[in-house]
């Protein structure tokens, strides 16, 4: 604090916080399970890759955050542009910062990490949904049914089985509850849940306390206003076919860009000189925050650059459960 408790160094705060990334789990589970992952160097403005599956188009996240399609030529390098992601501004009260109350810096670092992970997961869901809809791989409940059932699960597998034999099922809260109650609702004499386990499909539940998990983000089109959205709706499920003997790998690509030192902006470089994948920007001056009461605080914003695309849209199937 340089002898003055009302003065602080943004660079020093950024150095203390470090990169908001868990080295034990560098990617959210959804990214890790659905995507081939890579990193790009700071000087790379575009990321190039080869499309191997027989498709005329891929689905990508544009600079505005929207999902769009791009036409590609088989075995010809395609290019991805990087998208800026920024968290809302989080605050540390100056009094808490001065006293290091309850390890407040570590808690804010975890919050920023969670926020960026949530945004990445949401973007993957947007890509999966667009790919499934545009390729015609969508299902809704059959007439007479009120729940997601085992027959619907098998139908999802059949539509993607040509593109992988390692399956991932991503479910919202209502569909997860349907599956937990399969034996109770659908079959009292033979266990449907045991039949599900024998299929060896990995399941990811994207919900929180039985409802949709939400997060806030800056869309880049609404100024300083944070928008809140669901990561995955409670009545949606996606089946993803992953690598098999044909060597196609996972159907999505996810790339983080390493960020240069940008020390003047509050960035941090690790001691071994490795450029970080995420930064925390610290407000140069105390901010007056108004909530239930006004207080002075340090503002913290998480930042990263990513590129992502669906390179094999046929390996994704969507199921929509009617609301009952």
Q: Which CATH class is domain 10-320?
A: alpha beta
pLDDT band with cut points at 50, 70 and 90 for residue 3: very low
Q: Report helix, strand or coil for 320.
A: strand
Q: How many whole angstroms separate alpha carbon 303 and alpha carbon 280?
A: 6
Model pLDDT, residue 320: 94
Q: How many whole angstroms separate alpha carbon 316 and alpha carbon 159?
A: 8
Model pLDDT, residue 214: 75
Evaluate whether 85 touches 61 at the Cβ level (below 8 Å): no
Which residue carries 């998208």 as its tokens? 83
Is residue 152 scored above 80 in pLDDT?
yes
Percentage of the residues of the chain whose pLDDT score is greater than 70: 78
Q: Which of 117, 118, 85 is nearest to 214 (CA)?
A: 118
Evaluate whether 139 touches 172 at the Cβ level (below 8 Å): no
The token duo for 100 is 């290091």
Phi-psi category of residue 249: left, alpha or beta, with phi > 0 → left and psi -120 to 50 → alpha: left
Name the residue ranges covered by the structural domains of the chain.
Answer: 10-320
Q: How many whole angstroms separate alpha carbon 81 and alpha carbon 62?
A: 7
pLDDT digits (tens, 9 = 90+) for 283-318: 877 888 877 778 888 899 888 999 998 888 889 999
**Mean pLDDT, rounded, of the chain:** 80
Structural element, H or E, at residue 156: helix 150-160
Helix ranges, the chain (H): 10-17, 29-34, 94-99, 104-134, 150-160, 173-180, 182-185, 192-198
pLDDT digits (tens, 9 = 90+) for 40-77: 988 887 777 666 666 666 777 776 667 777 766 666 67
By the 10 Å C-beta count (0-12 exposed, 13-18 middle, 19+ buried), 322 is classed as: exposed
pLDDT digits (tens, 9 = 90+) for 162-212: 888 899 999 999 999 999 888 887 766 678 888 888 888 999 998 776 677
Q: Which of 22, 187, 189, 49 is nearest to 116 (CA)?
A: 22
Q: Report helix, strand or coil for 130.
A: helix
Q: Report helix, strand or coil for 91.
A: strand
Mean per-residue pLDDT for 233-242?
93
Model pLDDT, residue 2: 44
Is residue 267 scored above 80 in pLDDT?
no
Q: How far does Cα 107 stand from its chain's mean position?
A: 20
Using only C-alpha atoms, the chain has a radius of gyration, in whole angstroms, of: 22
CA angle 224, 96, 12 (to 5 degrees): 75
Model pLDDT, residue 236: 94
Structural element, H or E, at residue 184: helix 182-185
Looking at the chain, how many residues does it have? 324
Model pLDDT, residue 264: 46
Task: Please indicate, yes or no, whether the overall pTM of this predicted structure exceeds 0.75.
Answer: yes
Q: Which of 73, 93, 112 is nearest to 6 (CA)?
A: 93
Model pLDDT, residue 193: 82
């Amino acid at each position: 604090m340089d002898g003055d408790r009302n003065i602080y160094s943004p660079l020093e705060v950024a150095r203390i916080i470090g990169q908001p990334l868990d080295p034990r789990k560098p990617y959210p589970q959804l990214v890790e399970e659905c995507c081939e992952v890579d990193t790009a160097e700071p000087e790379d403005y575009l990321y190039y890759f080869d499309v191997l599956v027989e498709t005329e188009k891929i689905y990508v996240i544009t600079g505005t955050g929207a999902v769009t399609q791009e036409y590609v030529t088989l075995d010809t390098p395609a290019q991805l542009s990087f998208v800026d992601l920024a968290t809302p501004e989080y605050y540390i009260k100056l009094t808490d910062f001065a006293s290091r109350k309850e390890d407040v810096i570590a808690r804010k670092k975890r919050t920023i990490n969670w926020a960026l992970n949530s945004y990445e997961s949401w973007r993957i869901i947007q890509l999966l949904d667009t790919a499934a809809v545009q390729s015609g791989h969508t299902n809704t409940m059959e007439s007479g049914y009120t729940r997601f059932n085992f027959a619907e699960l098998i139908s999802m597998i059949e539509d993607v089985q040509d593109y992988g034999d390692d399956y991932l099922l991503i479910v919202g809260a209502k569909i997860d509850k349907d599956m937990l109650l399969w034996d109770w609702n659908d079959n009292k004499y033979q266990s449907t849940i045991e039949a599900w386990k024998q299929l060896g499909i990995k399941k990811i539940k994207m919900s929180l306390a039985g409802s949709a998990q939400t997060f806030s983000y800056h869309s880049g089109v609404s100024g300083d206003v944070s928008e809140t959205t669901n990561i995955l709706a409670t009545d949606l499920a996606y089946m993803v076919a992953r690598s098999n003997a044909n060597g196609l790998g996972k159907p999505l690509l996810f790339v983080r860009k390493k960020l240069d030192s940008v020390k003047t902006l509050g960035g941090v470089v690790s001691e071994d000189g490795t450029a970080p994948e995420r930064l925390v920007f610290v407000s140069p001056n105390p901010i007056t925050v108004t909530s239930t009461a006004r207080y002075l605080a340090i503002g913290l914003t998480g930042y990263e650059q990513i590129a992502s695309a669906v390179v094999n849209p046929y390996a994704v199937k969507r199921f929509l459960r009617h609301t009952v």
